[in-house]
Structure 1
Amino acid sequence: MTKFDTPAYQAEKDFKNDPVLKNQIENAWSNYVKYCTINSQMGNPWSSSYDHPRSWYYNPLVTPAEPVKNNTVPIQWGAFPNRINHYFTNLFVEKFGKTDAPDKLHELADIGPDAFSKKYNITLVVSKNPCDPGNTETKPFGPSGPRGWQDEYCEWAVTRDASGDIIAVDFTHENPEYWFHMWKVSPDMVVSLYQEILNNPNVKKEDLYLLDEKGNYVIVRETGLPAYNPINKWNSGPSATAGGGGAVHLTSPPNSLGAEIYLGAAATILRVNSKGKVITDANELICAAQYGQIYRNSDPRIGQNVNSLVYNKKLKISLTNPIALYGQQPDFTQFKMPDSAKGYKIEDCYKVIRGSETNQGTTFYPFNMILHSRFEAPAGAKFKLSDIMVKGSKIKWGSQIADVFKVQLAGTGIPGGGDQPQQYPAVGDPAVTLPSVQYVLDNNLLQASLYNKLNTFSNLTSCITQVEAGTITSGIAILASDANKGTGFDFGPGISVSVTDFQDLGNDNQLFIVDINVHSAALLGEKPLALFNKTTDPKYTIAGVLEVVAPGSLPKLDVVPNHNLLSDQQVSQVQKMLK
């Protein structure tokens, strides 16, 4: 394998009329997935014990492995947010009664905890540390964000008519990282796709711009164009109207492709309990390995399935190309059409908007590769979506449909070659904590992202920071953990870093504002970064944070680099996203 393909080979469709842009995004995307893979293999040697290395997760760009039916396993889970069922079923039976409780669970999944709490004057809290049964502390139900609670790699937006009846539901499984990369290649294509997906010509390019606290567009140094806001007015919240809202791609912080790959790699380490017995329970594995959220459908299922392949079949694992989250066809037998349907079938109300029902690639991938789907009555039909019954009840909430389909990824295994899988105790605190890199990006982009609460409401960015050979680039922010004012930076030969300002953010987080000086003879390409508090510390690198490009590759901008430190509000956001 020479590259990672875009999800469901979507770039071939998105850029079918522009081979130059198609090549750009396919290369950028493959590099991004490669860096995610390398970092996921690394694990966390900085602030955790027994989480490095993850040698039973292989990189298919390095290790030959062709996905075929007998070595590739589909991993599926329910699209409805299981943490809602786990935490609130008994509470809702007590408050609303056994008959009405299921309806209220579906309503919560549609409108979210803030709106639900306000409507019913109820406080929705969950265990602060569900892995510790003895800990009685609680926290608000989350994750935060416009659709944060829809955390099974499936988010949806409901369209209603003037009477409040549902006329359409859009489901998306598409990761935000692909849209960040597509925006960097062609904002015009992104706008065109928004209009097409939402069937709404009112979407304007400026609607998608990231704004700073003064309401100004944040300019990306590498392109000279405004930055992308993943929770813009057209991709925000659980409802869609002609004037805003909609579900184009995933926004909930846990619903990222990087998190999926990291989880898959973490699950290849076998965990043993205090008695030396290998842990096989899905939720126990999560608590021991700290690779996801207990009681979700997705994280426990992914982790347990991957771990089982390593433990029972002695297979090394990688997620199957093209790596993505894919919706599966609903169970159409769970629907009943109204009498007014007059010959229409439920299948006539279902349409795949992005992705495909079958694999369009040249290598094996099991089942459906659906990135975006829509339920709505056909044009001219004499019935609404809300007239259809699912599982015995009329469709009142989009989550009722989420109840009857699954989300999937796949893993491809190769023989372990006679080696024995790693067996480690539960993740713990290391003897010595090393400084680690969280983000490397222009300070103006970091500050605007924090102002907009990205990465607590959504994802911050996934595009690599670029600098030209033979230049000094100022105003670069390096967000770190467990560092100090004297921490060193190692990007490799030909690159030096000068710290122009430092800010202790509390909770063991730090901000460095730096100048990056690249020698004219420095080799072009990606430069991994290692931090060190002592020169004798081991230098573990993180990949995909900086790329050196040829002189003249980037636009010449008349923009003053941002050297400002973070405000109290921005510091608070850092603490929330890195806690």
Structure 2
Amino acid sequence: MTKFDTPAYQAEKDFKDYPDLKNQIENAWSNYVKYCTVNSQMGNPWSSTYDHPRSWYFNPLVTPVVPVKNNTVPIQWGAFPNRINYYFTTLFIDSFGKADAPDKLHELADIGPGAFSKKYGIALAVAKKPCDPTNTETKPFGPSGPRGWQDEYCEWAVTRDADGDIIAVDFTHENPEYWFHMWKVSPDMVVSLYQEILNNPNVQQEDLYLLDENGNPVIVRETGQPAYNPINKWNNGPSATNEGGGAVHLTSPPNSLGAEIYLGAAATILRVDDKGNVITDPNQLICAAQYGQIYRNSDPRIGQNVNSLVYNNKLKISLTNPIALYGQLPDFTQFKMPDSAEGYKIEDCYKIIRGTDTNPGSTFYPFNMILHSRFEAPAGAKFKLSEISVKGSLIRWGSQIADTFKVQLAGTGIPGGGDTPQKYPAVGDPEVTLPSVQYVLDNNLLQASLYNRLNTFSNLTSCITQVEAGITTSGIAILTSDANKETGFDFGAGISVSVTDYQDLGNDNQLFIVDITVHSAAVLGEKPLALFNNASDPKYSIAGVLEVVAPGSLPKLNVTPNHKLLSDQQIKQVQKMLK
């Protein structure tokens, strides 16, 4: 294996008529997944104990293995947000009655906690620290975002007619990172795909721009083009109309590919309790390893399945290429068509928009590789989607359909080779924390991202920051934790960093605005970054934050570097997203 493939090999379809662009997106994507893999193998040596290294998670680019049926297993979970069921079933039975509670749970999954609380006057609070049963503090139900609560790597948007009846539901499992990389390669292709996926010619390129506080597009230094806003008007919220809304790709902050890979690697470490017994309960594992969110379907299932393969089968694990989240075919037996269907079957109301129900690749991948699907009545049919029943009830909410299918990833194992699996106590706090890198990006992009509340409502760009050899690039923002004003930056030979502005953000977080100077003879390529407070500090690097490119590779822009520090409101946002 020489590269990671795009999800469901989708780039081969998206760029089939543009071979040069296809090569660009495939190379950029493979590099991104590689960096996620390397960082996930590293774990967290900066601010945690017993979380580094994760030697039982292997990189298939380094340790070649061909996925086949007998070394690859599917890991599946329900698409309906399980935290809704866990936290609110009893409350809704008490508030609405046992007969109506299921309908209200489905409504909450569709419209979200803000709209639901406003409609019914019910506060939706959950445990602030669910891993600590002695802590009685609560917080509003989340995560935040236009579809933040749909956190099982499945998000959907419902289209209704003038009578309020459902006529279509779009389900997406596509990670946002692929779309960031595709935008960097070809904004025109992204616009074309939006129009195709949403079946809406009204989508315009400027609709997808990330705007600053003055309403102007934020220009990306590496491309000279406006930046991409993942929660733009056409990929925003749980409803869709001809004027806005829709579900193109995932937006909920937990629903990222990087989080998936990191969780998979974290789960390869066996955890023991204070009596030395290996922990196997899925939620206890999450609390001990501090990955993911307990009471979800996805995180506990992924963690438990990966951990079990290490514990019971003594296998080293990697997520299976092409790494992605894939929807599975619904259980069509749970639907009943109306008398007006006149021969139509429920399968006629289901269409795969992106991805496939069969693996088109040359290596094994179990079951379906669906990235985007749609339920709607066929053209010319004399019935609406709302006349179909599922599990005995007419379809009123998209979440009723989500209740009939699963989401999947897969893991491939190799023998441990006689090694003993890592077995550690629960993750803890070290005596001395080391400075760590959170983000490296142009400050104008950081400022606009915070203004738009990305990474609180969605995700910041996942594209690597590029600088040219032989010049100094100014206005680069580096967000850190546990650093100080004298912290050093090590990108390796031929690269120097000069701090021009510094801001203590509180809660052990810092912002550095820096100039990065690259020697003309510096080796091109990706440059991991290590921070150090003291010369004697161990230097643990994070990969995929900076790339040195050849002189003249980037456009020459007449743009003044941004040295603006964060406002009080922006500082609160950073504290929230880095806590």
TM over 0.5: same fold? yes
Q: Counterpart of 2:522 in 1: which secondary structure?
A: coil
Establish whether residue 545 from structure 1 lines up as the match of residue 545 from structure 2: yes
Match of 1:419 in 2: 419
How far, CA to CA, are the matches of 1:568 and 1:172 in structure 2? 35
SS at match of 1:66: coil
1:509 aligns with 2:509: yes
In angstroms, what is the RMSD of aligned CA positions? Answer: 0.3
Q: Residue 181 of structure 2 aligns with which residue? A: 181
- Tell me the distance in 2 between the aligned counterparts of 1:568 and 1:125: 26
Partner of residue 386, structure 1 = 386
1:408 paired to 2:408: yes
Cα deviation code 1:447-477 (max 9, x no counterpart): 0000100001000110000000000000000
Amino acid at match of 1:205: Q
Is contact 1:388–1:395 with CA below 8 Å preserved after alignment?
Answer: yes
What is the 5 A alignment of 1:194-343? 194-343=194-343
CA deviation after TM superposition for structure 1 residue 307, in Å: 0.1
The alpha-carbon deviation at position 64 of structure 1 amounts to: 1.2
Aligned residue for 1:318, secondary structure, equals strand
Give, in angstroms, the shift of residue 432 of structure 1.
1.1
TM-score (normalised: structure 1): 1.00
Q: Report what 2:454 is aligned to.
A: 454
| Map of 1:47 onto structure 2 | 47
Equivalent in the alignment of 1:145: 145
In 2, Cα distance between the equivalents of 1:575 and 1:461?
18
Name stretches of at least 5 consecutive residues in structure 2 with no aligned partner: none
User: Separation in 1 of the partners of 2:124 and 2:449?
Assistant: 28
Amino acid paired to 1:479: L
Q: Deviations over 1:123-175 (max 9, x none)?
A: 00000011011100000000000000000000000000000000000000000
What amino acid is the match of 2:341?
Answer: A
The one-letter amino acid of 2:129's match is: N
Is residue 172 from structure 1 mapped to residue 172 from structure 2 by the alignment? yes
Could you report, residue by residue, the CA deviation over 1:289-326 in whole angstroms, capped at 9, with x for unpaired residues?
A: 00100000000000000000000000000000000000
User: C-alpha displacement at 1:516, in angstroms?
Assistant: 0.0
Query: Structure 2: how far apart are the matches of 1:220 and 1:569?
Result: 24
- For 2:472 and 2:83, locate their aligned partners in 1 and report how far apart those are by CA, in whole Å: 48
The one-letter amino acid of 2:540's match is Y
Measured after TM superposition, the shift of residue 569 of structure 1 is: 1.6
Deviation, structure 1 residue 184: 0.0
The one-letter amino acid paired with 1:225 is: Q
Report the CA distance between 1:9 and its aligned residue. 0.1
Cα distance in 1, alignment partners of residues 437 and 287 from structure 2: 24
In 2, the alpha carbon distance for the partners of 1:160 and 1:573 equals: 34
Aligned match of 2:83: 83
Distance in 2, Cα, partners of 1:64 & 1:233: 42
Instruction: Provide the C-alpha distance between the structure 2 equivalents of 1:575 and 1:10, rounded to a whole number of angstroms.
Output: 36
- Residue equivalent to 2:363: 363
Q: Give the distance between the partners of 1:19 and 1:320, measured in 2 at CA.
A: 25
SS of the residue 1:523 aligns to:
coil
CA distance in 1, matches of 2:387, 2:505: 53
* Aligned partners of 1:77 and 1:407 also within 8 Å: yes
> C-alpha separation between the residues in 2 aligned to 1:120 and 1:506?
38
Counterpart of 2:561 in structure 1: which amino acid? P
Take 1:508 and 1:11, find their aligned partners in 2: how far apart are those partners?
A: 41
| Separation in 2, partners of 1:313, 1:368 | 25
1:57 is matched with 57
Classify the secondary structure of the residue corresponding to 1:145: coil
**1:205-262 Cα distance to aligned partner (Å, 9 max, x none):** 0000000011110000000000000000000000000000000000000000000000
Aligned match of 2:14: 14
Distance 1:458 1:165 in 2: 29
- Would you say the 8 A contact 1:451–1:569 is kept in 2? no
Deviations 1:100-123 (A, max 9, x none): 000000000000000000000010
CA distance in 1, matches of 2:258, 2:535: 30
Q: CA deviation at 1:431?
A: 1.7
Q: Residue 495 of structure 2 aligns to which amino acid in structure 1?
A: I
In the alignment, the residues of structure 2 paired with residue 35 and residue 407 of structure 1 have an alpha-carbon distance, to the nearest angstrom, of: 24
**Secondary structure class of the residue paired with 1:75:** strand
Instruction: Indicate whether 1:561 and 2:579 are aligned.
Output: no
Q: What does residue 30 of structure 2 align with?
A: 30
Q: Deviations over 1:340-373 (max 9, x none)?
A: 0000000000000000000000000000000000
CA deviation after TM superposition for structure 1 residue 191, in Å? 0.1
1:418-447 CA distance string (max 9 Å, x none): 000000000000121000000000000000
CA separation in 2, counterparts of 1:70 and 1:428?
Answer: 36
Rounded Cα–Cα distance in structure 2 between residues aligned with 1:69 and 1:439: 39
- Structure 1, residues 361-399: CA drift from partner, whole Å, max 9, x if none? 000000000000000000000000000000000000000
* CA offset digits 1:14-36 (Å, max 9, x no partner): 00000000000000000000000
1:569 and 1:194 map into 2 onto residues whose CA distance is 33
Kept in 2: contact 1:56–1:268 (CA 8 A)? yes
2:444 aligns with 444
> Is the CA contact 1:479–1:510 (under 8 Å) kept in the aligned structure 2?
yes
Tell me whether 1:477 sits opposite 2:477 in the alignment: yes
Give the match's secondary structure for 1:21: helix
**1:353 partnered with 2:349:** no
Look up the equivalent residue of 1:77 and give its one-letter code: W
Asked if 1:570 corresponds to 2:570, the answer is yes
Letter paired with 1:18: Y
Runs of at least 4 residues off by over 3 Å: none
Distance 1:510 1:151 in 2: 29
Match of 2:520 in 1: 520
> In the alignment, residue 556 of structure 2 is paired with which amino acid?
K
2:218 alignment partner, SS class:
coil
Question: Are 1:433 and 2:433 matched, yes or no?
Answer: yes
Distance apart, 1:568 and its partner CA: 1.3
In the alignment, the residues of structure 2 paired with residue 496 and residue 535 of structure 1 have an alpha-carbon distance, to the nearest angstrom, of: 16
Q: Distance in 2 between matches of 1:499 and 1:44?
A: 25
Instruction: Give the AA of the match of 1:549.
Output: V
Once residues 569 and 382 of structure 1 are traced to their aligned partners in structure 2, the CA distance between those partners, rounded to angstroms, is 53
CA distance in 1, matches of 2:517, 2:201: 45
Structure-1 separation of matches of 2:110 and 2:62: 43
Q: Which residue of 2 aligns with 1:533?
A: 533
Output the amino acid matched with 1:358: T
User: TM-score, length-normalised on structure 2?
Assistant: 1.00
Following TM superposition, by how much is the alpha carbon of 1:65 offset from its aligned partner in structure 2, in angstroms?
0.8
Deviation at 1:572, TM superposition (A): 1.2
Rounded to whole Å, the distance in 1 between the matches of 2:69 and 2:275 is 37
Task: Give the match's secondary structure for 2:540.
Answer: coil
Q: In structure 1, what residue type is equivalent to 2:273?
A: N
**Partner SS for 1:473:** strand
Distance in 1 (CA, whole Å) between partners of 2:484 and 2:333 is: 60
